[in-house]
A = this chain, B = another copy of it.
Amino acid sequence: MKIAVFPGDGIGPEVTRQALRVLEALDLPGLTLFEGDVGGIAYRRHGHPLPAETLEMARAADAVLFGAVGDPACDGLERHLRPEQAILGLRAQLGLFANLRPATTFAGLETMSALRPEVAAAIDLLIVRELNGDVYFGDKGTRTLDDGQRQGWDMMAYAEGEVRRIAHIAFRAAQGRKGRLVSVDKANVLETSQLWRDVVNAVAADYPDVTLEHMYVDNAAMQLVREPGRFDVIVTGNLFGDILSDQASMCVGSIGLLASASLGERATDFGTFGLYEPIHGSAPDIAGQGRANPMATILSAAMMLRHSFGREADAARIESAVARALADGVRGGDLGGDAGTAAIGDAVLERL
């Protein structure tokens, strides 16, 4: 079990530390940890947010545990040197095309959401976001038009194979859940979306046990407010997935609790190579104060055990320890409580 740990910036190192304590407590066979620099800290130490040695370390591992990147001191840098490029670079270089973001309201936290408690309580969905294509990774640039004006441009595109592989992931995820899949696109306007829709329809033939519905992205953004409990699995492209997954995660009340997995195609001994990270950012305003809630990172480590190491039982142990800590009233500052980073780590460890 070789895990590359990239703590990153801001609260990244603090929350990653607690996730490692949990992993170490599980007595995993052959657990080996390597630590690498990413983000602003990597830029300062090596002149690049994703140094070659970090990338090599990821390639040599079975999984990556990622903290957070983002550093206000880097705001003035050119885009390709900014901390966020580390995560975009890892996704591209490691072929991490499938981003899984579960959003479930924890028992006892129904009142933390801006949604009415009964609306929030019903949320139990999984967003499957394509992560290697779309307007994120197409050609882009700035050019001068004939009339002398500057124009910024970005190419949006999806090829059949890219849509097919993410569609299979989503259909399989739906089979393991409630059997309902909503594919989100903007096929009334975009050719990229029309192709997306055609391929998803073709893949659907392999999964007669899953109910497929297509939804335009503007409608999906509405339905996620109106009745988020109606969704089981949502599959969508990189750009729409970025927007909808953040929207969905806020619906459950706090992004301090939400984990994510980004999976590639490479098989490990017991699963699939992947990168695991909390969906929250580096929160520079509270960095270094021991106040960040590490639960999202701890839950990301659980996803790692499930998807990269085939250790479902250990994953479930971690998840239920977090759920019990929350049910027992352990609350980080993000939930209006005063439990600090280490105290939350202790609380989860005690309940493992």
Mask: chain A, 206-248; 1 = CB below 8 Å from B; 0 = not: 0000000000011101111111000000000001101111110
Closest partner residue, chain B, to A145 (CB atom): B159
Query: A114 CA to B221 CA in the complex, in Å?
Result: 13
**CB contact list, A187-207 vs B, under 8 A:** 188-196
Stretch of A13-21, A134-142, A269-277, A335-343 at the chain-chain interface: A134-142
At the interface, yes or no: A149 with Cβ under 8 Å from chain B? Answer: yes
* Dominant SS among interface residues on chain A: helix
Q: Is the beta-carbon distance between B116 and A152 smaller than 8 angstroms?
A: no
A151-B157, A151-B195, A195-B142 as given contacts; A114 in contact with B226, CB under 8 Å: yes
Inter-chain contacts of A244 with B (CB < 8 A)? 221
**CB contact list, A98-142 vs B, under 8 A:** 114-116, 119, 135-136, 138, 140-142
**CB contact list, A141-186 vs B, under 8 A:** 141-142, 145, 149-161, 186
Stretch of A38-46, A249-257, A285-293 at the chain-chain interface: A249-257
Inter-chain contacts of A223 with B (CB < 8 A)? 250
At the interface, yes or no: A71 with Cβ under 8 Å from chain B? Answer: no
A115-B116, A194-B79, A243-B243 as given contacts; A189 in contact with B136, CB under 8 Å: yes
Q: Is the beta-carbon distance between B154 and A159 smaller than 8 angstroms?
A: no
At the interface, yes or no: A48 with Cβ under 8 Å from chain B? Answer: no
Inter-chain contacts of A240 with B (CB < 8 A)? 243
Inter-chain contacts of A88 with B (CB < 8 A)? 189
At the interface, yes or no: A314 with Cβ under 8 Å from chain B? Answer: no
The residue in A159, A192, A221, A251 that gathers the most chain B C-beta atoms within 10 A of its C-beta is A221
Interface range on chain A: under 10, 10 to 19, 20 to 34, or 35 or more?
Answer: 35 or more
Query: A247 is contacted by which of B149, B186, B227, B247 (Cβ under 8 Å)?
Result: B247
Inter-chain contacts of A145 with B (CB < 8 A)? 159
Inter-chain contacts of A247 with B (CB < 8 A)? 218, 221-222, 224-225, 247
Q: Is the beta-carbon distance between B114 and A190 smaller than 8 angstroms?
A: no
Q: Is the beta-carbon distance between B188 and A154 smaller than 8 angstroms?
A: no
| Minimum C-beta distance from A94 to chain B (A) | 18
Query: A156 CA to B189 CA in the complex, in Å?
Result: 12
Query: A89 CA to B43 CA in the complex, in Å?
Result: 48
Besides A154-B156, A221-B246, 16 new A-B residue pairs in contact (Cβ under 8 A), listed by A number: A115-B115, A136-B189, A140-B190, A142-B191, A142-B194, A151-B157, A151-B195, A152-B158, A152-B194, A153-B192, A221-B221, A221-B244, A221-B250, A222-B255, A223-B250, A225-B251
Subset of 6 A-B contacts with CB under 8 Å = A115-B115, A116-B116, A135-B135, A135-B190, A155-B155, A222-B250
